[in-house]
Amino acid sequence: MSNSHASCGSIREWLDAYVDGEIAHCGGLSEQEFVDHVTQCTGCLTEVVAARRVKSALARAHAPEEVPGDVYDRVSLRVREAGRETWIQWQSDQIEMWARD
């Protein structure tokens, strides 16, 4: 394994793009570098897992029979109100509640 030059900062900066499958747009950070870092860094791994859960929850939020229709609107509002890290943490908390079924 070669050493990755990805830093926690760059990982978290591009985390959303990675989760969205847009790693090609991640400013020189390759998918392999991203994966290498995340598999060695618990902090970033936690962020990726949280972001993936957010993504799947947002997909579910488009299904009105599963999630109240105003969830997506409230989420969008929170994105504007909160910083990104706060947003991810908030989403994790929401998903923990939604996931209890």
Total residues interacting with Zn ion, rule: CB under 5 A: 3
Q: What is the dihedral sign for C-alpha 88, 94, 98, 99? A: positive
* Comparison of 41 and 67: residue with beta carbon closer to Zn ion: 41
> Which one of 42-50, 70-78, 80-88, 91-99 is the stretch in contact with Zn ion (CB under 5 A)?
42-50
| 17, 23, 35, 41: which one binds Zn ion (CB under 5 A) | 41
Q: Is 35 in the site for Zn ion (CB under 5 A)?
A: no
Distance of CA 21 to the CA centre of its chain: 11
| 19, 26, 29, 44: which one binds Zn ion (CB under 5 A) | 44
**What residues contact 33, with CB distance under 8 A and at least 6 apart?**
4, 5, 6
Q: Is 26 in the site for Zn ion (CB under 5 A)?
A: no
Q: How far is the CB of 81 from Zn ion (least distance, A)?
A: 26
d(CA 78, CA 28): 30
Tell me the three state secondary structure of residue 79.
Answer: helix
Q: For binding to Zn ion (CB under 5 A), which residues are involved? A: 8, 41, 44
